[in-house]
Amino acid sequence: MDQDEFIGSVAKRCGMSPEQAAAVTHATLATLAERIDGGEARDLADRLPEALRAYAFGGSETGERFGLDVFVARVSGRADLDPERARDGVTAVFDVLRDAVDPVGYADVVAQLPAEYGDVADQTAPYVQRSR
């Protein structure tokens, strides 16, 4: 999967324009890189399309500990979206990540997140196209 396919899939899943989908994808990957440990962020980056890798590199070896509401708020600010749209976008990005990277790699990332993140990063939920 290349960057255009990744962002196109995000756009389709959350009903955003390609530009909004790109912004929410970049914001979600950057925020995820802050939340998970640096080594795991680098491993995730290695599994992403080359054009998206820079967004997934963490700045610290130890991830920040913050809840889902803070995660969505950060994405909302970075992508210039209202929180509800940002949450839809975050869910879409995690859905596409689940499809784009190998199951073990995705599971390793999600394992670093508290249970409340299951609302956006569920490993077992079927794909649901949002209508907007």
Contacts of 71 (CB under 8 A, 6+ apart): 31, 32, 35, 90, 117
Cα 50 to chain center, whole Å? 16
Q: What is the pLDDT of residues 18-74, one digit of tens each?
A: 999 999 999 999 999 999 999 999 999 999 999 999 999 877 788 899 999 999 999
What's the rounded Cα separation, in Å, for the pair 47 and 57? 12
Q: Is the overall model pTM greater than 0.85, yes or no?
A: yes
